[in-house]
Structures are given as structure tokens and as C-alpha cells.
A and B are shown apart, each in its own frame.
Chain A
Amino acid sequence: MLIRDVSEKIGLRVLAGNVGLDKELTGLYICDLLSWVMAHAGKGDAWITVQTHSNVIAVAVLLELACVIVPEGIEVEEETLQKAEVEGIPILQSSMSAYALAKAFCKAGIE
């Protein structure tokens, strides 16, 4: 399923990286420890994290993650948004918790 379709179904707000919205999204990973994400997240995963510094984008690029999702309305630094634009990594924001987002992803067909 495309990131754009999942995003529209769940009602996510696109903060940056519009150009990357037509990539395939295949899974979901939730974690805030970057090395843990490096070890376990899979290519094509959407990554839910409360981390908002620009290194999040470096991790997403290196792992070829589909997108980054910040839960609970967390704001993202301008520097991070700019880097996401340059790298074409969508950053999506939701008012939902990570748990509620995971449930919504299942309902949307990402299991």
C-alpha cells in the first residue's frame, strides 16, 4: 500500500517530504532508541518515534524506511523538516498515540 493511501485513511498530517508519498509502505516499527531501530526496523517500514532531531532522517534514509510518524501532535524541528525534504522522506504527524496508530495501521490493512 502507498504511504499516501495509508496516510489519507488514517488522517495523518504531512509535515514534510511530499515527494516520497508514493513509495510503498510494507510495515510499521515503533521505537525511540536509534540503534535499536537500526538493528530491527525493516525496509519499507513506517517508523513511529517521539524523536524529532535531524538524525532521525539519517536513520530513515540508511534503512530505506517508508516514512517517519510523530505521534500525539509532537512538533518537529525546522532543521529536521528541511532534511526530510532534501532526502524525500515523508514526516507525518498524528494526534493519536503510538498504540492507537498501530491499531489504525492494522485496520488500514498493514499487518
Chain B
Amino acid sequence: MEQMKYTFNVEKDDFVLAGQASSNIKKLLRQLGIDSGIIRRLAIATYEAEINIVIHSLGGCIELEIDPSYIRVIAADRGPGIEDIDLAMQEGYSTATDKAREMGFGAGMGLPNMKRNSDRFYVRSEKGKGTVITIEMALKAGA
């Protein structure tokens, strides 16, 4: 399998299409015959990253990179950035709007869910610029 790259745009406040990129990524990985347990974990982590872009940013994109030894998802947004990453990583902490909360989002589980469902997980954020989240899954032991 050669390395493959895909990009999916994610719009701010588009709650109707939210989840579409994650869903497309899941379908792609299934077509490639990736282990279903890996797909499930990556789908959960990617969905959370996608929802965060919709709720908290001014828009962004999700890049999917598939290599014989790993799958990498990079969710990058333009926006306010995360002020305190340690605080944001705590379960239950959320800065979501009332509208998002009414829809069942903003439980403060997004970043913890991403970390729990990734083999490797990185958050980089710059105030006033945006956030880049990297989620990696190993496809071979030690990758």
C-alpha cells in the first residue's frame, strides 16, 4: 500500500454536516480493509476533532494520511485557539455555547475522548491563530 492523503473541509457552525468528514474517513478505511477496532477508535477521535472545529473555530480542515505503518489525522482550524490546554484536557471542562450544549455537544469530553482513542495524540494551539490536533494510529507493532 502506497501512502495516500485526503483533505476534508469542515465549516464553522455547520451542525448538519458535522460528522461527514469522520464518516467519509471511516468508509475509506473500511474499503482499505483496515482493522475494525482501529477504525472505530479513529472514527471516535476524528469525530470529536471535527465537532470541535464546528463548535469552537472559524472553520478548518481534516487531513487523512494513510501509510503502510500508520494512519494520521490532522485537524487544523482557524480560530481563537485553546487558552489552557491542560484545563481543556480535563473531562467536563467546556467552553461550548448554549446552542451547542442544547444539542448535546459541549460535554467537555472531546479532547479526552480523542486522547483515549489514539495511539499518539498531540495538541498544538496558538491564541488568536488556531489549533492543530494530530491523532495517530499504528498499523504495525512499534510503528
Contacts of B51 in A (CB 8 A): 34-35
- Provided the pairs A58-B20, A59-B47, A62-B23 are in contact, do residues A51 and B103 lie with their beta carbons within 8 angstroms? yes
In the complex, residue of chain A having the shortest beta-carbon distance to the beta carbon of B44: A38
A69 to B128, CA, bound (A): 41
What is the distance, in angstroms, from B27's C-beta to the closest C-beta of chain A?
A: 9
Contacts of B109 in A (CB 8 A): 33, 35-36, 38-39
Contacts of B108 in A (CB 8 A): 35
Interface residues of B in 19-49 (CB under 8 A from A): 19-20, 22-23, 26, 40, 43-44, 47-48
What is the distance, in angstroms, from B122's C-beta to the closest C-beta of chain A?
A: 20
Tally A-B pairs: CB < 8 A: 68
Contacting pair B40 A35 (CB below 8 A): no
A43 to B16, CA, bound (A): 23
Contacts of A39 in B (CB 8 A): 44, 109, 112-113, 116
Interface residues on B, range: 20 to 34
A108 to B22, CA, bound (A): 34
Tell me, yes or no, whether B15 is within 8 Å of chain A by CB: yes
A interface, over-half SS:
helix
Contacting pair A32 B104 (CB below 8 A): yes
A32 to B110, CA, bound (A): 15
A35 to B112, CA, bound (A): 10
A58 to B20, CA, bound (A): 7
Contacting pair A35 B19 (CB below 8 A): no
Q: Give 8 closest A-B pairs by Cβ, nearest first.
A: A58-B19, A35-B109, A33-B107, A35-B107, A34-B104, A62-B43, A51-B104, A32-B104
27 cross-chain CB contacts under 8 A? A32-B104, A35-B51, A35-B105, A35-B108, A35-B109, A35-B113, A38-B44, A38-B47, A38-B48, A38-B113, A39-B116, A53-B16, A54-B16, A55-B15, A55-B18, A58-B18, A58-B19, A58-B22, A58-B47, A59-B47, A61-B19, A61-B26, A62-B22, A62-B23, A63-B40, A63-B43, A64-B40
